Every structure is written in C-alpha cells, then in structure tokens.
Amino acid sequence: MHTRRFEDRDAEKIAALIGRNFLEVNSRDYPLEEMRTLAETYNADKVRSIASYAHTYVVCEGGTVVGTGSISSFWGSTTESILLTVFVLPEYHGKGVGRQIIETLEADELFLRARRVEIPASITACRFYEKMGYGYKDGVRQLDEEGHYRMEKFRQI
C-alpha cells in the first residue's frame, strides 16, 4: 500500500468509501437515516471542496483507494490544525490503513506547525484515536451537537 496526495480523479472513489463507512460502520452507533443523509452529503463535490482547502491524502492498494484523510488549519489558525474525513474501506479496518493515514497526516506541514490538533471523532472511531495518542478535548468525553467527540493532541514546538 502506498500513500499519496489527493487527485481530482479520486473524488468519486473517496465519496463511495466515505458513504460505505457511514452506512456499514457508523450506522451501528448512529441512526441509519442520519447516516444515509451524511452518505448523500459526502458526494464527490463535497470531497473536492474539502480538498480545495485541506491537504488530502489517499492510501491505495493497486488501483483501489482503501483509505483517506485530510488536515486543515483550524479556522485559519497558524498554531492549531484539524483532522478531517479520516475513513478506511470497511474490509480494510484493522489492517493498519488508519494508522498509515494518521502517520501521514502527522508528517504534514499543517500538523508539524501546530501546537494543538483537533479531530471531531465519531463514536465508532474514539478508541482508534486514543491508540494514536489523542485525548478528549479539555478532558471531557461528551458528544457535541454534531454527534462527535472532540479529541485533541498537543505538540511541543
């Protein structure tokens, strides 16, 4: 498997990958109708929109996109960043793809310049992010209005 930067031709594949996660994985922890709505919202245009302002990466095995993740400045800050749209094909869960994505995002300049990096984590993903060294924002484990746990990692610069 190799990791590379997003290319426009990846948008449809990434949208399908994200949609599958909402419907097949996140639907275990969230209402199915909400996941259907999110799957429709995260279409190829939404993926392109995120890639227009974030550094977006894909993990590929052969010609198949098996994972994706993005990092962006947090509301224009030069000392805070945010991880976005970290997803892995369901059949590749537990095979190191998520770790590869996080390691790639943590090597990105937007991570390296940040003192704090936040991630809006689904219920499903919290344990994974804890393994990757992220903790609950301000030590509070509480769902926000979007149904995410806000997690963060601090860095010494």
Here the CATH number for the domain that contains residue 57 is 3.40.630.30
Cβ atoms < 10 Å from Cβ of 131: 11
User: Which tens digit of pLDDT belongs to each residue from 45-67?
Assistant: 999 999 999 999 999 999 899 99
Q: How many separate domains does the chain show?
A: 1
| Cα 60 to Cα 8, 14, 65, distances in angstroms | 15, 11, 4
Is the residue at 153 inside a domain? no
> Radius of gyration of the chain from Cα atoms?
15
Is the residue at 151 inside a domain? no
Is the residue at 138 inside a domain? no
Is the residue at 140 inside a domain? no
Is the residue at 49 inside a domain? yes
| Three-class secondary structure of residue 108 per DSSP | coil
| Cα 122 to Cα 21, 64, 81, 128, distances in angstroms | 11, 25, 18, 10
pTM: 0.92
Is the residue at 67 inside a domain? yes
Residue numbers of the domain that contains 46: 2-115
Is the residue at 150 inside a domain? no
Q: Do the Cβ atoms of 151 and 136 come closer than 8 Å?
A: yes
Report residue 21 as tokens. Answer: 């996660």
Whose CA is closest to 148, among 129, 14, 156? 129
Is the residue at 124 inside a domain? no
What pLDDT band is residue 41 in, cutting at 50, 70 and 90?
very high
Is 80 exceeded by the pLDDT of residue 75?
yes
